[in-house]
Amino acid sequence: MLRAICITSLLCLALPAFALVPPDYQEPPSDFTAEIEAGFQLNTGNTESSSFNGRTMLVYDTQVAKQEGTFKAYFASDSEKTTSEKYNVQLQSSLKLDGGYIFGRGELTWDQFGSYTRIYTLSSGYGFDVISSDKTKFSLEVGPGYRYNLPAATDTDPDPAANKDLILRTAAKFSQKLQEYTSLNADLTAEAGEDNSTLTLEMNYKNLLFQDWAFKIGVNVKYTDVVPEDSQQTDTITTFNLLYTFQ
């Protein structure tokens, strides 16, 4: 009898809680999003190796502004030595306006085995959405900037001087939701300077596995017009990663 009274009392206390939180309740969307991924890497061009890579992206998107930060790391070694070591940081702050946004952007790259071992780029400008729907997003950015390049040392030039150049940066960003669980993303960036110019294409395909986990295939191709002696103009990185999204 006492046990029945206790069970009845607990059920009476629990019923109001279920009434306050319906079964189909979902948390409201957050302004903050984060992605963490890691996986296998294939390098061709100035480096020939395979190993791990990692990427972290943080986004804080409100009605007034959008803050984005991305950190990438690539590391590889063979049985004798390290063959690839590269770190990249990208930061962008955008202030939203009617019909577009103004932005400030910084990118820093340290590449131990690249044609340029240090690349620092600062730029600002204007961007706008050409297409913005639930399935398709396409935006363009343009603006002036400044780039610092430190070439890799060679036998003929063991202590190269850094190149400092004013640039015009243009970028096109495309995102397409193919199906409920798959999406395709592509970013094309051109940096035109008096002394050197670059063209970078970054593409990835994501397939949701379950909940917040996804499989991602990515390709990054960068073409540099002027490179040091014994360096290739095109670098390609192909990645196969497992990605987790925080929202």
Segment 140-164, tens digit of pLDDT: 999 999 999 999 988 888 889 999 9
pLDDT tens string 91-141: 999 999 998 999 999 999 999 989 999 999 999 999 999 999 999 999 999
Report all structural domains of the chain as residue ranges with CATH numbers, in order of start.
30-246 (2.40.128.130)
Amino acid at 181: Y
pLDDT in tens, the chain (247 residues): 544 444 445 445 444 544 444 545 455 567 899 999 999 766 677 766 668 899 999 999 999 999 999 999 998 887 678 888 999 999 999 999 998 999 999 999 999 989 999 999 999 999 999 999 999 999 999 999 999 999 998 888 888 999 999 999 999 999 999 998 999 999 999 999 999 999 999 999 999 998 899 999 999 999 999 998 888 999 999 999 999 998 7
